Structure 1
């Protein structure tokens, strides 16, 4: 009997790549509020588990920013029909009460996804948020996020280098 597309992806495709991230991680997060001006560097921890029959991974993380604790959750998947990585993201600092949905392409060592955020309180203009995940061997990955202005200018916002524990 022929394997389904999902079974093939689990065996040697995007889902296999995601499942390799399952585990506990520690890292260091850098944060920028202004382009090229480092505002904070602090420790971060993450737990990544498989959910819904290995269709997705759930990334639960916590750390601090300027001495104040924060936490977040990102659900990551690979959309087989559209051949795109997808994420949903919430956290207690950046997103407030909003949820960001993003999608994008595979890269050599992971993926890059793009979403948008904004608020009518600040003129209603949407800003972009690009998130890149790069797997660096079996025991490390880098999660980098970039703010993208409405004019398309990109600036690094956060970067966490995680190592497996």
Structure 2
């Protein structure tokens, strides 16, 4: 990657879009195990900040599932040479000690990442698609959808964030 491409991206491209996510956020997290059925609803707070000179956004968040606290960290970035979004995600609730790596694309209104993880009981690979939609400067919708190895939708998480 050339320094010029990155500087241009920060000024008027995708890295400028990523930078617009930076800030303090609060909202609601909905956990869904079966399509259409909310298993848990809780407050969520998060911080998104630029790191490494604006190359990446570091997203840290806290919520809960019942009495169990949830903490998560995601790094979102755009690989200029490959023209792909990339992310790495860890969380205390569903990820155990694994790191999920994902790649994705974007449109005018959203960024979308697709990653896979293994079910330790069967060694089957499940899909996890995360979409970040910027509603406006002060509201973000994050939807994470879980897909079975056969491709069936199997719940997920929805976060509605408001800038504070």
Q: Is the 8 A contact 1:27 1:43 kept in 2?
A: yes
Partner of 2:132: 133
Partner of 2:48: 48
Q: How many angstroms does 1:152 deviate by?
A: 1.1
Q: TM-score, normalised by structure 2?
A: 0.95
Partner of 1:24: 24
Deviation track 1:45-87 (CA, whole Å, cap 9, x = no partner) reads 0011111111001001001112211101000000101111111
Partner of 2:12: 12
Counterpart mapping for 1:118-157 below 5 A: 118-119=118-119, 121-157=120-156
Counterpart mapping for 1:70-109 below 5 A: 70-109=70-109
Extract unaligned runs of 5+ from structure 2: none
Q: How many angstroms does 1:38 deviate by?
A: 0.9
Q: Distance in 2 between matches of 1:117 and 1:60?
A: 20
Q: Secondary structure at the match of 1:118?
A: strand
Q: How many angstroms does 1:6 deviate by?
A: 0.7
Q: Is the 8 A contact 1:144 1:156 kept in 2?
A: no
Q: Distance in 2 between matches of 1:159 and 1:10?
A: 29
Q: Distance in 2 between matches of 1:161 and 1:81?
A: 32
Q: Distance in 2 between matches of 1:72 and 1:9?
A: 27
Q: Distance in 2 between matches of 1:154 and 1:84?
A: 24
Q: Distance in 2 between matches of 1:78 and 1:64?
A: 30
Q: Secondary structure at the match of 1:9?
A: helix
Q: How many angstroms does 1:154 deviate by?
A: 2.2
Q: How many residues align?
A: 163
Q: Is the 8 A contact 2:70 2:91 kept in 1?
A: yes
RMSD value, Cα: 1.4
Q: TM-score, normalised by structure 1?
A: 0.94
